[in-house]
């Protein structure tokens, strides 16, 4: 069966009817839900989306179209599943039993590989109530859910989604987990707390591609990147994932031949991340400036935040009520060329 036939088969088969032959489904809005046939559960977390043509279990991560589902449930080949679905009247095999997957915890030590860009049929990460779907915590071997203040969507130069960095705030601090759509050791796909593969993408690749001649404003953190885009639209505002400890793992090559202004946080860690530093033993640790020079940027300048409160950054300025014109004028009097220190 060729690809065109397979595509037509997926479109013409009623996935609710097929899955409903094996799973007791109940309508839930535009979707149907039931207890997952691929792992033991008491509360239904298995959903069928007729509009998108897939099933997804938020408990174990199972994610299949109608052909994949039939293959897995009845443990048959792709060709056999297509033949069964393409017949006059679909009927399940009387002896069919679901092929149980290994418990998810057994995969905790396995490698989960991010799939970028994220496929169109992946479920939305953040739901209408503001909470994420269950996200597999690779290191801890369990599912977590988050209610982020913001979900920063990372996109490639073509505008395709490649993952998220969530900002979750609490009374005693914040966390910023990176969430990517991953393929697990057994082939199941699931949203996971998993870093972007190295070299990691910049945050703002789509904006860079849209404005190839514009100068670039580089700040630390997704929140500052968003603030820069709002307040200083004459620049393309970009950032990166992982903060100061992640600068060495980033792909800086998209900034080659660009004019770049660095805006560090107003503390030692912020300046060190941008400009590099020597430790107590005299060893030099490269910062963004050294890595950008290696990447071949056309020019580099840095905004000196001296005089501002410790940790103050671009986002704080807007939160304090600075106007865009006020911010631009202040920065113009605080910017200078960089004498890049070499290690």
- Within-domain flag for 98: no
The verdict on 219 and 263 lying in the same domain is: yes
- For 338, residues 6+ apart whose C-beta sits below 8 A from its C-beta are 262, 275, 289, 300, 301, 302
The verdict on 179 and 212 lying in the same domain is: no
The verdict on 230 and 299 lying in the same domain is: yes
The verdict on 220 and 282 lying in the same domain is: yes
- Final residue in a domain of this structure, among 174, 193, 212: 193
pLDDT tier at 1 (50, 70, 90 boundaries)? very low
The verdict on 265 and 179 lying in the same domain is: no
Pairing mode, strands 259-263 and 216-219 = parallel
Distance CA 53, CA 16 (A): 9
- Within-domain flag for 99: no
The verdict on 269 and 206 lying in the same domain is: yes
pLDDT surpassing 90 at residue 76:
no
Domain at 54, CATH number: 3.90.580.10
pLDDT tier at 99 (50, 70, 90 boundaries)? low
pLDDT surpassing 70 at residue 280:
yes
Average pLDDT, rounded, for the chain: 88
- Within-domain flag for 158: yes
The verdict on 129 and 46 lying in the same domain is: no
Q: What is the DSSP letter of 250?
A: B
CB count, 10 Å around CB of 40?
A: 10
The verdict on 183 and 209 lying in the same domain is: no
CA-CA-CA-CA dihedral for 16, 20, 23, 28, to nearest 10:
50
Give how far Cα 2 sits from Cα of 9, 79, 316, Å.
11, 11, 56
The verdict on 163 and 52 lying in the same domain is: no
- Within-domain flag for 1: no
Nearest of 147, 205, 207, 153 to residue 178 by alpha carbon: 153
The verdict on 67 and 172 lying in the same domain is: no
Structure-token match 């970028």, residue found: 116
Kindly state the average pLDDT of the residues 291-303: 96
Q: Report pLDDT for 210.
A: 97
- Final residue in a domain of this structure, among 193, 220, 250: 193
- Within-domain flag for 108: no
Domains in the chain, number: 3
Kindly state the average pLDDT of the residues 228-241: 96
Contact 161, 120 (CB under 8 A): no
Give the 3-state secondary structure of residue 268: helix
The verdict on 332 and 250 lying in the same domain is: yes
Distance CA 182, CA 107 (A): 13
CB count, 10 Å around CB of 239?
A: 24
pLDDT surpassing 60 at residue 242:
yes
- Within-domain flag for 100: no
Structural domain span for residue 37: 6-86
Query: Which structure tokens are listed for 46?
Result: 């298995």
pLDDT surpassing 50 at residue 55:
yes
Query: Which structure tokens are listed for 265?
Result: 């946080």
The half-sphere exposure of 340 on its side-chain side, counting CA atoms within 13 A, is 17
For residue range 262-276, what is the model confidence (pLDDT) as tens digits? 999 999 999 999 999
Distance CA 226, CA 241 (A): 13
- Within-domain flag for 262: yes
Asked if the bond preceding 165 is cis, omega within 30° of 0, the reply is no
Q: What is the DSSP letter of 129?
A: T
- Within-domain flag for 93: no
- Final residue in a domain of this structure, among 51, 86, 121: 86
pLDDT tier at 314 (50, 70, 90 boundaries)? very high
The verdict on 219 and 331 lying in the same domain is: yes
Distance CA 229, CA 214 (A): 12
**5-14, 220-229, 236-245, 322-331 — which is least confidently predicted?**
5-14
Tell me what percent of the residues of the chain surpass a pLDDT of 90. 56
Domain at 301, CATH number: 3.40.1360.10
pLDDT surpassing 60 at residue 255:
yes
Statement: the pTM of the whole predicted model exceeds 0.85: no
pLDDT tier at 95 (50, 70, 90 boundaries)? low
């Amino acid at each position: 069966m060729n690809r065109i036939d397979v595509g037509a088969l997926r479109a013409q088969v009623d996935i609710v009817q097929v899955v409903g032959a094996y799973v007791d489904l109940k309508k839930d809005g535009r979707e149907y839900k039931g207890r997952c046939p691929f792992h033991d559960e008491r509360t239904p977390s298995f959903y069928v989306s007729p509009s998108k043509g897939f099933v997804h279990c938020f408990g174990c991560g199972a994610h299949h179209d109608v052909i994949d589902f039939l293959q897995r449930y009845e443990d048959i080949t792709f060709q056999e599943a297509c033949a069964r679905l393409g017949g006059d009247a679909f009927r399940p095999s009387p002896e069919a039993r679901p092929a149980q997957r290994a418990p998810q915890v057994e995969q905790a030590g396995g490698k989960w590989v991010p799939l970028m860009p994220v496929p169109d049929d992946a479920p939305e990460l953040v739901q209408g109530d503001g909470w994420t779907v269950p996200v597999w915590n690779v290191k801890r071997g369990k599912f977590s859910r988050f209610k982020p203040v913001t979900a920063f969507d990372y996109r490639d130069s073509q505008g395709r989604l490649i993952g998220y960095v969530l900002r979750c705030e609490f009374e005693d601090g914040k966390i910023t987990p990176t969430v990517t759509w991953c393929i697990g050791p057994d082939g199941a796909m699931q949203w996971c707390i998993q870093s972007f593969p190295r070299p990691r993408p910049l945050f703002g690749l789509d904006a860079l591609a849209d404005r190839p001649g514009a100068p670039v404003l580089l700040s630390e953190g997704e929140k500052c990147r968003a603030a820069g885009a709002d307040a200083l639209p004459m620049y393309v505002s970009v950032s990166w994932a992982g903060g100061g400890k992640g600068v060495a793992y980033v792909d800086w090559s998209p900034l080659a031949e660009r004019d770049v202004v660095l805006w560090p946080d107003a503390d030692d860690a912020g300046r060190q991340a941008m400009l590099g530093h020597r430790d107590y033993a005299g060893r030099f640790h490269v910062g963004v400036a050294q890595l950008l020079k290696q990447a071949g940027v056309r020019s580099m300048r840095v905004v000196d935040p001296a005089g501002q409160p410790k940790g103050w950054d671009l986002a704080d300025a807007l939160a304090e009520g600075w106007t865009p014109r006020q911010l631009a004028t202040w920065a113009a009097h605080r910017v200078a060329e960089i004498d890049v220190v070499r290690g």
